[in-house]
Copies of this chain bind each other. A is one copy, B any other.
Amino acid sequence: MNRKFNFSAGPCTLPLEVLEEAQAEFVDYHGAGMSLLEMSHRGAHFQAVADEAAALALEIFQAPDEFCVLFIQGGATLQFAMLPLNFLHTGQAGAYINSGAWAAGAIADGGAHGNVYTAWDGSADNYTRMPADAEIQLRDNTRYLHITTNETIGGIRFPDWPAVEVPLIGDVSSEYMARPVAWEKFDLVYGGAQKNLGPAGMAVVFARKSALQTGNRDIARYLRYDIHEAGGSMFNTPPVFAIYMFGKVLKWMKKHGGLAAMESRAASKSGALYAAIDGSGDYYRCPVERACRSHMNVVFRLPDEAREKKFLAEAEAAGLMNLKGHRSVGGCRASIYNAMPADGVAALVDFMADFQAANG
């Protein structure tokens, strides 16, 4: 197999050893005479898989006992609806930081099911930075402040968690388990699994248990966090394969040093790319304010669109795949999630230098 380096923003590269392990046991799971995919989710085999995945999730992400972890289908996008449905009671409002495309989606969907408002708007800066604490304008009766901790498209992240008087809710989709979170500030942390945590097919939600106990109850069961918690994420048929693969990715993370190692590798890999960009004499340019540069999604431009197109084509020919920026902003983007090996980043850095030398 001629394995490529895959810089896709998600779904994205997974650890090769995880894929190989899953392949080996795909048809006959642990000698049971059937695939895990064919087993009842109420049976002992899958219950063990789900229990181990949940326990590892809480352990690796260093979540305190006050938190539970839930597996819910529908991606981060269904969470956009569930947040106000569960948490906003009459008279309460949800505050949102508009930091880019994903935050805007959370605001739009949230507004359909609750009283939400924008507490800071990054559109004037073209989403190239996150707000300072003093810029965040909260109103009375605000139940939570929603932040998108890393914007996949803009390539920005919060360097520090906002210090505000209300609980935070964080969409961490594109930097999930790539840095620690300050749990004491959060009521809920969520994100799609399909970047750092496994294949597409579910959101992973860490929730403060006490917050779930005071949620709204007059909504359908699938939309209620407390129902998912009471059912151990199995009140209805769970996304078996997504949970199984998530567990395997977590075992891989633990084996390779856990959260601290993932954070440090991300700093090192993104640092190498930003150094290559900054050292290129303005040939490559990153539009993001330095302090807010993402460690997961490194966005950059070339001198003109013609060279960007050539860059992307030649990169693919060299086995460096999916470096195209999001269609809404153009340019280039290297998504370097936990499973991207340092070798992949080194190969990209080398390619960038060679391309500049040939097309300067």
The interface of chain A, by Cβ under 8 A from chain B, is 1-4, 6, 8-14, 16, 19-20, 22-23, 26-28, 31-35, 37-41, 43, 73-78, 80-81, 105, 108-110, 112-113, 192, 194, 199-202, 218-223, 235-242, 245, 319, 321-322
Contact = CB atoms under 8 A, between A and B. Distances in A.
A74 B201 contact: no
A53 B31 CA distance: 31
Copies in the complex: 2
A201 B245 CA distance: 13
Contacts of A78: 73-74, 78, 220, 222-223
A40 B9 contact: yes
Contact of A109 (B9, B220, B321): B220
Interface majority SS on A: helix, strand, loop or mixed? loop
A35 B38 CA distance: 21
Contact of A241 (B39, B40, B199, B236): B199
Contacts of A14: 35, 37-38
B3 A200 contact: no
8 contacts: A1-B27, A1-B28, A22-B26, A23-B23, A34-B321, A80-B222, A81-B223, A199-B240
A55 B12 CA distance: 26
A33 B31 CA distance: 29
A40 B108 contact: no
A249 to B, nearest CB: 11
A23 B34 contact: no
Contacts of A34: 3-4, 6, 13, 321
Contacts of A199: 37-38, 240-241
